[in-house]
Amino acid sequence: MFESLGDRLQEVFARLRSRGKLSEKDVDVAMREIRLVLLEADVNFKVVREFVARVKERAVGEEVVKSVTPAQQVVKIVFDEMTGILGGKKEGLKFASHPPSAIMLVGLQGSGKTTAAAKLAIMLRHQGRDPMLVAADVYRPAAVEQLQALGKQIDVPVAYFPHRSALEIVEEAVGEAGRAGHDVVIIDTAGRLHIDEEMMQELVDIKRSVGPSETLLVVDAMTGQDAVNVALAFLEKLDFDGIVLTKMDGDARGGAALSMKSVTGRPIKLASTGEKVNDMEAFHPDRAASRILGMGDVVTLVEKAEEAMTEERARKLEEKLRKHKFDFDDFLEQMQQLKQMGGISSVLDMIPGMGNATRMQGLQVDDRHMKKVEAIVQSMTRAERQNPALLNASRRRRIARGSGTSTQEVNQLVRQFGDMQKLLKQFSGKAGNMGMLKRLFPF
């Protein structure tokens, strides 16, 4: 989502860095460019005006004028202020002191509430909680069936009571969750194509009855400033606690995310970053700002790596590296773990400078290429994967046919894998490098 915005801002910073010492005129030019970039990204104009004013005030002050690296100081100021408009600090979910805690998801139809409910259930289960889903959308055709299908897919129970009102369903579900020992109930409420009094009254009644620990507004980040307008309308009627941004993996300009906290005063608490059920994460304003400005996001990268690779798998990989027995099976496993982390493009964006550098140099970082490589490796026999020396010309032709690729592509992969094995052997043979190798994998 923030790719275009980040690239444009980094171009502005590159021009600043080329100037050495900065005059007030240089700062003025940069601020005009930043203002235009943000407005084109569909950031609320009041948010842009206040943001640019704060950055400019600090950028022409002594902390920049007397700095050895003034351009870097300006970048740091922009980072601080952008972190501020995104929310300043991470706002976690609140839970009731006496379970079950109720988390109520509200929003317009099509915002992604039902899918977000399932993703949130997975996320909370990873945190050691025992969630139950509640199907309280009794109006949209197949809404209940959709949530039940998702619940079955992720093995989370879904509470639904036919021929009851939404309020009655929620009240009964909360009671059942308490009896069954579930500590969180996630309520998927009804939406409309537009805000109306009937929908709002139903939501108000549910909130008044169950007293949720969190009322979260789910908004589609692809809708830009419309999402901000929706948030303001819900805030007036319902007074929600936080925001869930869906479709953050889309190609929208990012203005909704940058405007939401400043305009509504409510924090972005969660972000849906992909289509898979695991693609929900807590929103960290500083990490988001860092990625927008090309500073990477190493903390999130490490967290994703830890989720993708268990301690046992890491130990086995280390043992293989020590014995120089890293083979195509291990290579395939690392690729699959890379996919779990969002793919190579996502990983590069989290490494400081890498995501933007690859785009600036015109390098094609295509996750589809990984599928081709995966097909080649899977077309090998077990013996071939464990001993690439067996891969003679006839075997390579067979692998190419089986994987739908060319012999040249198979040859290229085998050659690159051989080079990597040599590099790993040299690297792991030096004292102190094994720990670094462990950190390098799976990315």
Per-residue pLDDT at 442: 38
Per-residue pLDDT at 311: 58
CA of residue 425 relative to chain centroid, distance = 34
Q: Partners of 267 in the beta sheet?
A: none
Per-residue pLDDT at 215: 95
- All residue ranges of the chain with pLDDT < 50 are 297-299, 353-354, 357-365, 431-443
Per-residue pLDDT at 328: 83
Within the chain, all domains assigned CATH 1.10.260.30 are found at 299-440
Per-residue pLDDT at 205: 93
Per-residue pLDDT at 156: 94
Per-residue pLDDT at 303: 53
Token pair belonging to 85: 């408009």
CB atoms within 10 A of CB 198: 10
Token pair belonging to 389: 């020396």
Within the chain, all domains assigned CATH 1.20.120.140 are found at 3-85
Tokens 């690439």 identify what position? 388
CATH code at 3-85: 1.20.120.140
Within the chain, all domains assigned CATH 3.40.50.300 are found at 101-290
Q: DSSP string of 120-187? A: HHHHHHHTT--EEEEEE--SSTTHHHHHHHHHHHHT--EE--TT--HHHHHHHHHHHHHHHT-SEEEE
Per-residue pLDDT at 123: 92
Does residue 218 contact residue 137 with C-beta atoms inside 8 Å?
A: no
Report the distance separating Cα 127 and Cα 142, nearest Å: 30
Q: Please say whether the structural domain 299-440 has been given the CATH code 1.10.260.30.
A: yes
Rg (CA), the chain: 25
Residues 6+ apart with CB under 8 A from 36: none
List C-alpha distances in Å: 184 to 16, 97, 139, 267: 50, 12, 24, 21
CATH code at 101-290: 3.40.50.300
